[in-house]
A = this chain, B = another copy of it.
Amino acid sequence: MGVVGVGRMGLTHAENLARRVRGARLVAVTTANEGRAERVRECCGEVAVYPGLDKLLSSETLDAVCISSSTAAHADNVVQCAAAGVHIFCEKPLALTLPDCDRAIGAAAQAGVKLMVGHVRRFDAGHVEARRYIEAGAIGKPVVFRAISGDVDPPPPSFADPAVSGGLIVDAMYHDLYLARWLLADEVERAYAEGGALVDPAIGAVGDVDNAVVSLRFSRGAMGTLFVSRTCRYGHDLRVEVIGDEGAVQVGYFRQTPVRLLDRSGVHHDMARTTPERLGDAFVTELQAFVDCIRHDTQPPVTGADSRATLAIGLAATRAMREGRPVDL
């Protein structure tokens, strides 16, 4: 396999492919930056480094690629890889517009290659267990989906720029939006949102918000109430709960390590501050699922259509926020 783009996520994927995913071998990566190339070699051992996707595809015979380039490049990268006949794992979201999603999905379908999108939290043991409880009827019929996604510090404005990231809701609430669909096994019909650049003026300056709340209405009547923040100074706060008419299931907590300090001022403990701390092995499990579906020729557990449906909710909520009215899907 090759990895396209070795920024933070791409490097993680490359290292996992090189060292942890069974049945896969990391052959090459793309980067035009010699420093990143050096980091890749440190983490992954000797692999070929190409300046771009063209060169990668023309130089190597690959079974599959992992696309972790900038989001804006995803759709084009997918189309190009599909044309080359390699299976594709693409970081989320598949694209920033629905037509680009359709273009990517169509290219993969036409080429007959597998296309999977990086919905990593579906591979986290906690969320898997929550879904299992719901499917087993432990909470009855789902009534509400509540979620919070908080990052400790905002990204640089160049990245927060909605033209690059899709904006706060599409970018940072994306995981909660697909979890909502997946855990409730239902579709969203209507979205409403409030948001503001309340903390970081630099984010407001590029036209985005740094905090937002979203209300969702599902087709079978259930509701969603979500909060997303780029300025959760106290930790990387990922919490999801689904309350049904017979019980509830919660994922998420407030202790990272099992250490507590007790002194005259009270009881103190830590909290996860980064995604790897919080999600642990889910990135490995995710790539393993992709590799396994190629080796056994099965359907990917997350399809391009899943990413398109998630994006559609994010775009509707973003429009609702901008226009001050609920938006139907």
Contacts and interface: CB of A to CB of B under 8 A. Distances in A.
Interface in A46-94: none
A249 interface: yes
A242 to B, nearest CB: 11
Nearest to A238: B258
Given A143-B198, A212-B223, A325-B325, A245 B261 contact: no
Contacts of A229: 143-144, 243
Contact of A263 (B190, B192, B213, B234): B234
A150 B241 CA distance: 14
A39 interface: no
Interface in A99-147: 125-126, 129-130, 133, 138-141, 143-144, 146
A280 to B, nearest CB: 8
A261 B243 contact: no
Interface residues of A, number: 74
A41 interface: no
Contacts of A19: 19-20
Contacts of A199: 141, 143, 245
Contacts of A215: 192-194, 213, 215, 225
4 shortest A-B CB distances, which residue pairs? A247-B263, A234-B262, A213-B225, A199-B245
A146 B148 contact: yes
Contact of A249 (B129, B195, B231, B261): B261
A223 B213 contact: yes
Contacts of A96: none
A193 B192 CA distance: 9
A262 to B, nearest CB: 4
A126 B269 CA distance: 11
B266 A270 contact: yes
A315 interface: no
Nearest to A270: B266
A287 B262 CA distance: 32
A190 to B, nearest CB: 8
A19 B231 CA distance: 37
Contacts of A237: 248
Given A266-B268, A326-B325, A246 B259 contact: no
A247 B264 contact: yes
